[in-house]
């Protein structure tokens, strides 16, 4: 009898962690993803705001798994899953499995608001970040040549929707770009006409943090010129403008949507009923109750601890990916399978140059010390010495000179000479 074949779908944090952890397990692995790179999604907003180059947050999957000799890589689109036949159907053919690990991740949640998806920019993929960067810079170029005051005001109005970590970090990064970098590029443009708004549906920013840290973040953003609107929910998009629940309209050329995510629609592929946000309920060992050979991890999995589902965060996905490898090893060796327990190591968010908030259990940190902690943690999670070195140099350069070096208008897919 041959070695068990483990197929992993998705090269995000969870899938890549599982693949790397399988290198010492006597199985044959296959990692399937539609891209040939692993993306460090938490820093996409820094690509969009011109601070980092895409190569600093994306790393070739085959390079990452170079030492995992028992794990192969397939770049393909998954089109279906034959659970009874134990096959993953892809754009290049079917791949059989003895055990399957689904780590396909999440997508932007537009909450069914009509026209919002076509009007707003998400931040879940590299093409989205590059398109947003090009769109923002193009808005300033058009504003510089615009003679109509109303149209210029629309071009110079930017709305970030969602006051979680991604929204706060995004608003802080763009505020610094608009206040300290672009005025030097556009000296004839009146930046007093520029408006940056952060819209949050709850009564405070960073709802998963301690309230004090949310208030600190709001004050820091306001000092950077961000207009923070709390207890406001986007209800509609009408005439190209965001319509809030109190009737207020925000006529913005650029809308950045960070208000939530939902699992990719994988439940239907498995023939199971989805739970909240499209997530798939799993057992304590991270597999489907009726199919122990099918594991689901990361943003796609719903597992409750302390009467609440685990958050859709990278640390959860990484720990679950490593745990699945331990379960597979135990299953191959005939040992009892361990249950998963999430170890919360804290959360943090940067508000821009020299400022961040961090919450590690009862310890709350903000300001410059929090920012240094944020840098250290992200350097640990970034893949590759080169990426860490260049990212650290970019953060240091921005700290000293308030500069965003990657200000190129090159939309993804552009073929212009």
Q: Convert the pLDDT of each residue in 56-102 to its tens digit.
A: 999 999 999 999 999 999 999 999 999 999 999 999 999 999 999 99
Same domain, 134 and 247: yes
Give domain status of residue 88, yes or no. Answer: yes
Range of the domain at 190: 116-259
Give residue 158's pLDDT: 97
Same domain, 51 and 89: yes
Band of residue 414 on the pLDDT scale cut at 50, 70, 90: low
Structure token pair of residue 283: 């057992």
Same domain, 31 and 75: yes
Of the candidates 169, 200, 204, 253, the residue annotated as catalytic is 169
Contact present, 116 and 234 (Cβ < 8 Å): yes
Question: Which neighbouring-strand residues pair with 80?
Answer: 89
Give domain status of residue 123, yes or no. Answer: yes
Residue 26: how many CB atoms within 10 A of its CB? 12
Say which residues have a Cβ less than 8 Å from residue 275's Cβ, sequence separation at least 6: 281, 302, 309
| pLDDT of 399 strictly over 90 | no
Read off φ and ψ for residue 131, nearest 5 degrees. Answer: -65, -40
The whole-chain average pLDDT of the chain stands at: 94
Domain count, the chain: 2
Q: Which of 333, 355, 386 is the last residue of a domain?
A: 333
Same domain, 28 and 58: yes
Same domain, 210 and 272: no
Residue 53: how many CB atoms within 10 A of its CB? 17
For residues 63 and 74, what is the distance between their CA atoms, to the nearest angstrom? Answer: 13
Q: What is the mean pLDDT of residues 192-209?
A: 96
Give domain status of residue 373, yes or no. Answer: no
Band of residue 415 on the pLDDT scale cut at 50, 70, 90: low
Band of residue 188 on the pLDDT scale cut at 50, 70, 90: very high
Give residue 105's pLDDT: 95
The answer for 109, left when phi > 0, alpha when psi is -120 to 50, beta otherwise, is: beta
Q: Which of 337, 341, 338, 366 is nearest to 351 (CA)?
A: 366
* Residue 103 CA neighbour count, 13 Å, CB half: 36
Same domain, 135 and 96: no
Same domain, 213 and 282: no
Contact present, 352 and 367 (Cβ < 8 Å): no
Same domain, 298 and 168: no
Q: Give Cα 254 distance to the centre of its chain.
A: 19
Same domain, 63 and 131: no
* Residue 360 CA neighbour count, 13 Å, CB half: 9
Give domain status of residue 222, yes or no. Answer: yes
Read off φ and ψ for residue 39, nearest 5 degrees. Answer: -110, 130
Q: Which of 295, 322, 271, 339 is nearest to 98 (CA)?
A: 295
Q: Which of these ranges, 299-303, 324-328, 381-385, has the smallest mean pLDDT? A: 381-385
CATH of residue 300's domain is: 3.50.50.60
pTM value is 0.94
Q: Which of 275, 304, 333 is the last residue of a domain?
A: 333
Same domain, 241 and 293: no
Write down the residue that tokens 């000179």 correspond to: 401
Same domain, 139 and 202: yes
| pLDDT of 416 strictly over 70 | no
169 is catalytic: yes
Give domain status of residue 77, yes or no. Answer: yes
């Amino acid at each position: 009898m041959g070695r068990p074949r483990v197929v992993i779908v998705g090269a995000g944090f969870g899938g890549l962690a599982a693949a790397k952890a399988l290198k010492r397990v006597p199985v044959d692995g296959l990692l399937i993803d539609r891209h040939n790179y692993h993306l460090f999604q938490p820093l996409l907003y820094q690509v969009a705001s011109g601070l980092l180059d895409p190569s600093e947050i994306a790393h070739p999957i085959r390079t990452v798994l170079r030492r995992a000799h028992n794990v192969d890589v397939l770049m393909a689109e998954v089109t279906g899953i034959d659970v009874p036949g134990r096959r993953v159907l892809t754009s290049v053919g079917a791949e059989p499995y003895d055990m399957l690990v689904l780590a396909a991740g999440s997508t932007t949640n537009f909450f069914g608001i009509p026209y919002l998806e076509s009007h707003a920019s998400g931040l879940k993929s590299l093409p989205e970040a590059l398109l947003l960067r090009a769109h923002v810079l193009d808005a300033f170029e058009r504003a510089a040549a615009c003679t109509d005051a109303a149209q210029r005001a629309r071009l110079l109005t930017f709305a970030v929707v969602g006051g979680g970590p991604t929204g706060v970090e995004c608003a802080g990064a763009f505020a610094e770009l608009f206040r300290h970098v672009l005025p030097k590029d556009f000296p004839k443009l009146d930046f007093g006409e520029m408006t940056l708004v952060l819209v949050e549906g709850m009564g405070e920013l960073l709802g998963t943090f301690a309230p004090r840290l949310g208030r600190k973040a709001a004050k820091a953003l306001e000092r950077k010129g961000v207009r923070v609107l709390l207890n406001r929910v986007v209800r509609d998009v009408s005439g190209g403008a965001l319509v809030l629940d109190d009737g207020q309209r925000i006529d913005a050329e650029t809308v950045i949507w960070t208000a939530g995510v939902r699992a990719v629609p994988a439940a239907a592929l498995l023939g199971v009923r989805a739970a909240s946000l499209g997530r798939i309920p799993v057992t304590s060992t991270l597999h489907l109750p009726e199919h122990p050979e099918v594991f689901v991890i990361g943003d796609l999995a719903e597992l409750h601890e302390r009467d609440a589902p685990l958050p859709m965060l990278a640390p959860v996905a990484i720990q679950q990916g490593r745990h699945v490898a331990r379960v597979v090893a135990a299953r191959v060796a005939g040992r009892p399978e361990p249950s998963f327990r999430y170890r919360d190591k804290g959360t943090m968010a940067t508000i821009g140059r020299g400022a961040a908030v961090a919450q590690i259990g009862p310890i709350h940190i903000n300001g410059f010390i929090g920012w240094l902690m944020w840098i250290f943690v992200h350097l640990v999670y970034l893949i590759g010495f080169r990426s860490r070195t260049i990212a650290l140099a970019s953060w240091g350069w921005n700290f000293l000179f308030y500069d965003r070096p990657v200000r190129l208008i090159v939309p993804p897919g552009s073929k212009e000479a």
